[in-house]
């Protein structure tokens, strides 16, 4: 019974599709792209349509420019030649410097939140530790 529950949990965490989808927008062009985020007027794109190699990360950057904070969201421009998949996943999180922030996440449309969302891998490890 325990194995069935673990397998069912694992299958619910799997994401089907050919590639990662991320929101792509700038708050100085689309006000709903800022914080708080609103999907109206924003677009989620399939990252593999724009890069020659698979991208495993979405990003959200918030920086102060021209007297206001500007939020930019999109597919992280990493490739597996320079940034292996494990390294990309290891970089997930939010980084701050001088009031600016940069977040990386690795789930479909995960760059919609104000902070990085929990990764599917971390959720799976947490569930497995609870039952094993």
φ/ψ of 114, rounded to 5, equals -75, -30
pLDDT at site 33: 96
- The pLDDT of residue 50 is 58
What pLDDT does residue 12 have? 44
Assign 86 to helix, strand or coil.
helix
CB 88 within 8 A of CB 47: no
CA distance 105 to 111: 7
Measuring CA to CA, which residue among 48, 15, 47 is closest to residue 121? 15
pLDDT for residue 51? 57
Helix (H) and strand (E) counts in the chain: 3, 6
pTM metric for this prediction: 0.70
Per-residue pLDDT of the chain (132 residues; tens, 9 = 90+): 555 444 444 444 444 455 789 999 999 999 999 999 999 989 999 987 655 667 789 999 999 998 999 999 999 988 788 888 899 999 999 999 999 999 999 999 999 975 444 445 444 445 455 556
């Amino acid at each position: 019974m325990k194995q069935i529950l673990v397998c069912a949990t694992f299958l619910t965490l799997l994401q089907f599709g050919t590639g990662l989808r991320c929101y792509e927008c700038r708050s100085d062009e689309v006000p709903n792209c800022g914080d708080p985020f609103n999907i109206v007027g924003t677009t989620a794109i399939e990252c593999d349509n724009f890069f020659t190699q698979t991208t495993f990360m979405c990003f959200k950057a918030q920086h102060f420019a021209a007297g206001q904070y500007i939020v930019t969201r999109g597919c992280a421009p990493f490739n597996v030649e320079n940034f292996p998949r494990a390294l990309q996943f290891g970089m997930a999180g939010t980084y701050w410097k001088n009031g600016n922030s940069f977040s990386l996440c690795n789930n479909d449309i995960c760059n919609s939140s104000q902070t990085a969302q929990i990764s599917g891998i971390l959720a799976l490890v947490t569930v497995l530790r609870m039952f094993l």
